[in-house]
Amino acid sequence: MSIQNISLSGRKTEVSNKKMTFAESLYLVAIAKGLMITIRHLFTRKVTIKYPEETRELSPVYRGQHMLMRDDEGRERCTACGLCALSCPAEAITMKAEERKPEEKHLYREEKYASIYEINMLRCIFCGLCEEACPKQAIYLTKSRVMVKSDTNREDFIYGKEKLVMPLDMAIRNTQMQTAN
């Protein structure tokens, strides 16, 4: 096994240094072969995805828009501890905490909840560190499966709680599916 025979990728080709024959130097055969290769591509399937009529398949761990989760009884999980804002490398999350009133016991899990929770989608880099940092499993990027839509206004990109919290009917459906099993 000399150094000349080793090929790590298995795609080694020997290059010849011979001068071209007269017929080869006309390049006519080479041009014809090239034209045949190109014309074959005319009849292959095209790889374009015609957005927005078609969308591409997202993988199961695709990190899209954030979703603030609810538990089995429909109560919001987030306790406004601020760990997600601390861990965010782009400083995209801001929040304001408030105390839970006695009549709101069915809305929030613990006594502290986030009254204002805003994520600036222009700053967010969708890294998922907030999802990893949350101690209450309250924020997930892999559950909503939507991409953040484009817009023309800078202010419209600051998403508040009404855009980020899991919809109530989705929480009810999850609970029903779990109790059915």
Partner 1 sequence: MDQAIIIEKGIFILVIFAITMLFAMYETLAERKIAAWLQDRIGPNRAGPGGILQPLADGLKLFSKEEFFPDTQNKFLFIVGPAISMTTALMTSAVIPWGDHLEIFGRNVVLQATDIDIAMLYVFGVLSVGVYGIMIGGWASNNKFSLMGAMRASSQMISYEVAMGLAIIALVMMTQSLSLREIADGQHGWRWNVLYQPVGFLIFLVCSFAETNRTPFDLAECEAELIGGYHTEYSSMKMGFYLFAEYASMFISSTILAVLYFGAYNYPGMDWVKEAAGVNVASILGIAVLFIKICFFIFFYMWVRWTIPRFRYDQLMKLGWKMLIPLAIANIIITGVVILIFDN
72/179 Cα distance (integer angstroms): 10
Inter-residue contact 87 to 129 (CB < 8 Å): yes
Map residues 7-46 to x or -, x wherever contact with partner 1 holds by CB under 8 A.
Answer: ------------------------x--xx-xxx-xx-xxx
Residue type, 32: A
| Cβ neighbour number for residue 143 with a 10 Å cutoff | 15
- The nearer residue to partner 1, 21 or 44, going by C-beta atoms, is 44
Helix (H) or strand (E) holding 23: helix 22-25
- For partner 1, what does the binding mask look like between residues 39 and 78, x meaning CB under 8 A? x-xx-xxxxx-x----------------------------
User: What residues pair up with 97 in beta bridges, in sequence order?
Assistant: 114
State how far Cα 141 lies from the chain centre.
Answer: 8
- Of 106-145, binders to partner 1 (CB under 8 A) are none
Q: Which is nearer to partner 1, 50 or 154 (CB)?
A: 50
Nearer to partner 1 by C-beta: 41 or 106?
A: 41
* Binding residues for partner 1 (CB under 8 A): 31, 34-35, 37-39, 41-42, 44-48, 50
